[in-house]
Structure 1
């Protein structure tokens, strides 16, 4: 690993990773905005598609996040031949997972029927996922290769390819949505098809880089490697499944919380939606910093430079909390400005929503501090290949502390939607303290070895 100061190294790795994820979000935003011109029903269908797709994809993709941590450790140890074997088996595992993902795409509409969604809107959701089904395989293959590139510090290459694919996807979606170049308009299926074609292009470009770039030759990606016991498949799964289960469990808890907030009325739900949209946007760079810190920890362990582990942890938490405190100041000082992106006009309902939004932004400032601390230390633990402990704490915290406390504050003690945020902050603070304790204990043991 280069003798770069840890904070600079984290920024160099995390910023392109965050940029890649922002580009993927921006692509979906633009494509959805174009599709909204086709009518309110399609826009409503896009809301269902977005919620269903993000939940489903995140569970599968997060399993493959382990590839970057394992590759990073081998990269630090300069065991380049092992990286080739790991990536090959990771690609096979990605293909098998993509078959499960494909099945999930076909099950989404039947699942939504159980929640009594509008049948007319579900027709559009059906069209989207049947079009996206063509991209199930390349989506996970692309993810595996991206994690490999992150592990060997080629994050800028991934960013450039994502920019190219963004331009391609938006162009294709425009042609299909509006029926340009003599083609018929395909409605919401256009977005799914554009996503699928983008995934294929992204995967093929990454694969071409693996084959043609001279810097890739030491990793022996196209050599024959021993497959006995599928040791790397099992290692990727053993490290990755707790990450997928944790994110799925936490998202499920937030879904239940949103349903309970809906019992408080439309204004409460709208106010929460406004603050959560901004929170999700802020979380993107935090997750990138968390993953970058984990990769650096893995590289340090692999290179037997264990004395750097604490410096990496300290730099990553200072960098991320510094960013969050700046954003928190903006949210607390200018809540009306951030709410204005979603509220238009001067209706009585908007006034009531604003009265809720202001304290929610204040509480969200603490939510971001506690959640950032928890996520950064969880990422550092993943760099040590310790993923089951953060999983148990994350799921237990959400289901045994956040949800029960939120319910008590909101309904029993009549705190309303503000009560849910109090319960969430208490749970996140407890989770952050426990995760930090685990990092301090495990990091100390490894640094002394």
Structure 2
């Protein structure tokens, strides 16, 4: 990575890194969206099964791929320090971890899927679809985790457009496979929602194949020769990766499950309230792709600068990322406040649900600023390889402060259903403040 000296140069380079990440994240989001949409056209029962299966899978997947994201700051710092020979060894250790995680998840799903699904009050037909959907996903576990390692490696080199290209090529294929396997076209079996799981598994293999071909044939990946002179498992290096990756994975798990927990706690309210909550959560999840992408870019940029011992540049990229996310948050707040009713109307025609959704959007607008601060600050801290304290802060902010606050407000005040959203705002705000303090402390320490 070349040193960018002026603020305009740094801003331009950050956009070059972040924009492909954003497109990649939106494409991944749309793949899940089309799974749900196409299954909903097939059967309500199959839609419910896929929704339950996805709800169980996403937190697990997020946490485990978060562990593999630990490769990004390590490789980024090695590249910044011009220690390219060490990159191959760490990527190999990442592959070993990925295969191990895939085996653990595969065995875990087979052992606990029935007991877990039996704990949820579901119709037998829905339970069967959810189980088969998850079992189909198992076919793609190994390529999914191996690709996560390769994507972390690719992104760490600053070549985020390559990851974007892979997903943009694969997403339409996934949609076609959905169509063929859900509805049973071209002589293929009609699998319904289970077909969406199989389509995803096949797509994971395809994504891995494309990534391997690119890494083998295209520079700067080919010159690093990560598929040559294979290194044996190293407990020392695996421990280094896990020391970075596990806190990242647990932090992402804490963030993901807090929203799932709120959804479960809100199940005591009417169907209209739950529907409005889900609509508001779905749209704000799409908006969150921007600060999330900026955070992922911040990890790469800060990692490069720290590896090169350019601490002042690392500080600049950290706060430039935060400023960019805050600017976008002002746009997203405006959208949520000015076009609340129009957005809600896209999801449903039910007037009462629209009215409730409009109210939820007001609270969603309030936590846009907190999201815009905590996400890129967290990304910058990962670039410094400072992840353990970040994880502890996430647990305290979301689970010890945010969720209990929401529960108290929802059950013991007039805020009722909106109390949980206020709890999310409190948790995210405290997270943003404490993480910012941590980043400032770390930067002063590394002057």
Which TM-score applies when normalising by structure 2?
0.94
Which residue in the other structure is 1:97 paired with?
A: 101
Q: Report how far residue 56 of structure 1 moved.
A: 1.8
User: RMSD between aligned alpha carbons?
Assistant: 1.8
Shift of the 434–128 alpha-carbon distance from structure 1 to 2, 3 Å rule, reads same
Q: Deviations over 1:417-441 (max 9, x none)?
A: 2222222222222221111000000
Sort the Cα spacing of 1:129 and 1:427 in 2 relative to 1 into closer, same or farther, 3 A: closer
* Structure 1 equivalent of residue 432 of structure 2: 432
How many residue pairs align between the two structures? 442
The CA deviation string for residues 279-312 of structure 1, in whole angstroms up to 9 with x for no partner, is 1111122111101101111100111111102211
**Correspondence for 1:56 among 45, 51, 60:** 60
Q: Contact 2:92–2:231 (CA<8 Å) still a contact in 1?
A: no
Whether 2:9 is the aligned partner of 1:9: answer no
Q: Is the 8 A contact 1:95 1:141 kept in 2?
A: yes
Deviation at 1:277, TM superposition (A): 0.7
1:174 to 160, 174, 179: 179
C-alpha distance in 1 between matches for 2:300 and 2:357: 37
User: Superposed, which structure 2 residues align to 1:145-184 within 5 Å?
Assistant: 145-184=150-189
Give 1:228 deviation, angstroms: 7.0
Q: 1:257–1:146: structure 2 CA closer, same or farther, 3 Å change rule?
A: same
CA positional deviation for 1:83: 0.6
CA contact (8 A) 1:149 1:158 kept: yes
| In structure 1, C-alpha distance between the alignment counterparts of 2:145 and 2:242, rounded to whole Å | 14
Q: What is the CA distance between 1:65 and its match in structure 2?
A: 1.0
Question: Residues 262-301 of structure 1 correspond to what in structure 2 (within 5 A)?
Answer: 262-301=267-306
Distance 2:415 2:327 in 1: 31
Residue matched to 1:370: 370
Structure 2 matches for 1:33-72, cutoff 5 A? Answer: 33-72=37-76
Residue 356 of structure 1 corresponds to 356
Q: CA deviation at 1:15?
A: 1.3
When structure 1 is superposed on structure 2, of 238-247 and 224-233 the one drifting more is 224-233
1:51–1:400 CA distance, 2 compared to 1 (3 A):
same
The answer to whether residue 124 in structure 2 is matched with residue 119 in structure 1 is: yes
Task: Name 2:379's counterpart in structure 1.
Answer: 379
Query: 1:310 maps to which residue?
Result: 315
For residue 36 of structure 2, the aligned residue among 32, 38, 62 is: 32
Secondary structure, in 3 states, of the residue corresponding to 1:171?
helix
Name which of 126, 132, 140 aligns with 1:135.
Answer: 140
Structure 2: stretches of 5+ with no match in the other structure:
none
Contact 2:36 / 2:50 at 8 angstroms: preserved in 1?
yes
Shift of the 344–199 alpha-carbon distance from structure 1 to 2, 3 Å rule, reads same
- Give the CA deviation at 1:143: 0.7
Q: Which of 78, 83, 95 is residue 82 of structure 2 equivalent to?
A: 78
Q: Which residue of 2 aligns with 1:405?
A: 405
Contact 2:367 2:425 in 1 (8 A): yes
CA spacing shift, 1:377–1:129, aligned 2, 3 Å: same
Is the contact between residue 154 and residue 221 of structure 2 (CA under 8 Å) also seen in structure 1? no
Structure 2 residue aligned with 1:341: 346
Cα separation, 2, equivalents of 1:217 and 1:418: 53
Conserved 8 A contact 1:7-1:319? no
Structure 1 residue 167, shift from structure 2 partner: 2.2
How far is 1:388 from its partner? 0.8
- Structure 1 residues 183 and 48 mapped into 2: Cα distance closer, same or farther (>3 Å)? same
Q: Is it true that 1:322 corresponds to 2:327 in the alignment?
A: yes
Q: Contact (CA 8 Å) 2:158, 2:300: kept in 1 or not?
A: no
Matched-pair contact (CA < 8 Å) for 1:80–1:218 = no
Q: Contact 1:89/1:232 (CA < 8 Å) preserved in 2?
A: yes
Q: Partner of 1:341: helix, strand, or coil? A: helix
| 1:414 paired to 2:411 | no
Aligned position for 1:21: 25
Distance 1:270 1:187, change over 3 A: closer
1:236 aligned partner? 241
Structure 1 residues 109, 328: closer, same or farther in 2, change over 3 A?
A: farther
Q: Specify the SS of the correspondent of 1:224.
A: coil
8 Å contact kept, 1:135–1:196: yes
| Distance apart, 1:214 and its partner CA | 4.3
